[in-house]
Chain A
Amino acid sequence: MNELARIRLERDHTGRLIVGVEGEIDASNIDRLETPLRSALADDCEVLLDLRGVQYLDSRGLRLLWELTGSARASGGDLVIIAPADSIAGELLTLTGLDATVVPGMPED
Chain B
Amino acid sequence: MEGERPTGAYDRLTLAFQAASAGTFDIPLDQDQAPAISDGALALFGFEAGQPVMFQDCVDRVHPGDRARILAAIEASVRTCTGHHVEYRVVRPDGTLVWLSSRADVELDGAGRAARLVGALLDVTERKQVEDRLRLNADLLDAVEQAVIATDNDGRILFWSRYAERLYGWAAEEVLGRPLRDLRASTLSESESAELAATVAAGGTWTGEVDVFRKDGTAFTALITDSPILVEGRQVGVVGVSHDVTAEHRAEQKLRDSEARFRGTFENAAVGIAHVAADGRWLRVNDTLCDTLRYTREQLLTMSFQHVTHPADLDSDLDQVTRLLAGEADSYCLEKRYIRGDGQIIWVNLTVSLVRDSAGQPDYFISVIEDVTERLRVEAALHDSQEFTRRVLDNLFVFVGVLDADGILIDANRAPLVAAGIESSDVIGQKFWDCYWWTWSDEVSQQVRSAVEQAQRGVAVRFDVLTRMAEDSRMWIDFQIAPLLDEAGQLTHLIPSAIDISARRQAELAMAEREEDERRGRERAELVSLTMAELEGITGLEARTSRLVDLLVPRLADLAVVSAAGDRRRVVAIAPDDRELARALGTMVFTEDAELAAGIERLGVFSHLSIPFDVGGAARGWLLVARTNADRAPFDETDVTFLTELADRVGLLLGNALLHEQEHETSLRLQRALLPGDLPQPAGVAVAARYEAGSAGLEVGGDWYDTFELPGGLVGFMVGDVMGHGIDAAAAMGRLRNAMLALAPRVSGPAELLSELHHFVRSAQVTDFATTAYAILDPKTGELRYASAGHPPLLVVHPHGSSEFLEGGRSIPLSGFEAPHQRTEGVARLNPGDTLVLYSDGLIERRRRRLSDGLALLAATAQRLSPRPAAAMCRDLVDELTAAEICDDDIVVMCAQVEASPTAFYRVLPARIEMLAGLRAAMRHWLPQVGFGPSQQFTVLLAVCEAVANAMEHGYLHHSEGFVEVRLERAGDGLDVTVADRGRWREPPADPVHRGRGTAVMQAVSVGFTRRSDDTGTTVAFSVPRQAEEAT
Contact = CB atoms under 8 A, between A and B. Distances in A.
B1001 A92 contact: yes
Interface residues of A, number: 19
Contacts of B1032: 85-86
A74 B941 CA distance: 34
A97 B994 CA distance: 15
A56 B1004 contact: no
Given A95-B1005, A96-B997, A96-B1004, A59 B946 contact: yes
B942 interface: yes
Contacts of A56: 920, 938, 941-942, 945
A4 interface: yes
Nearest to A26: B916
Given A58-B949, A95-B1001, A63 B917 contact: no
A60 interface: yes
B945 A60 contact: no
B1004 A63 contact: no
Contact of A28 (B917, B939, B997, B1004): B917
Contact of B949 (A26, A85, A92): A26
Nearest to A98: B997
Interface in B957-1008: 993-994, 997-998, 1000-1001, 1004-1005
Nearest to A95: B1004
Interface string B941-953: 1100110010001
Contacts of A92: 938, 942, 1001
What is the interface residue range for chain B against chain A? 20 to 34
Nearest to A89: B938
Interface string B280-310: 0000000000000000000000000000000
B277 interface: no
A96 B1000 contact: yes
A27 B949 contact: yes
Given A27-B949, A56-B938, A92-B942, A63 B994 contact: yes
B567 to A, nearest CB: 48
A56 B998 CA distance: 14
Interface in A1-24: 4, 24
Interface in B909-927: 913-914, 916-917, 920
Nearest to A3: B917
Given A27-B949, A95-B1005, A62 B997 contact: yes
A99 interface: no
Given A28-B917, A66-B993, A59 B998 contact: yes
Contact of B917 (A4, A59, A62): A4
B994 A91 contact: no
Contacts of A83: none
B1020 to A, nearest CB: 15
8 contacts: A27-B913, A27-B916, A56-B920, A58-B949, A59-B994, A60-B949, A60-B998, A66-B993
Interface of B: 913-914, 916-917, 920, 938-939, 941-942, 945-946, 949, 953, 993-994, 997-998, 1000-1001, 1004-1005, 1032
Given A56-B938, A92-B938, 12 more contacts: A56-B942, A56-B945, A58-B946, A59-B1000, A62-B1001, A66-B993, A86-B1032, A91-B938, A92-B1001, A95-B1005, A96-B1000, A96-B1004
Q: What are the 5 A-B residue pairs with the smallest beta carbon separation, nearest first?
A: A59-B997, A59-B998, A28-B913, A27-B913, A95-B1004
Interface of A: 4, 24, 26-28, 56, 58-60, 62-63, 66, 85-86, 88, 91-92, 95-96
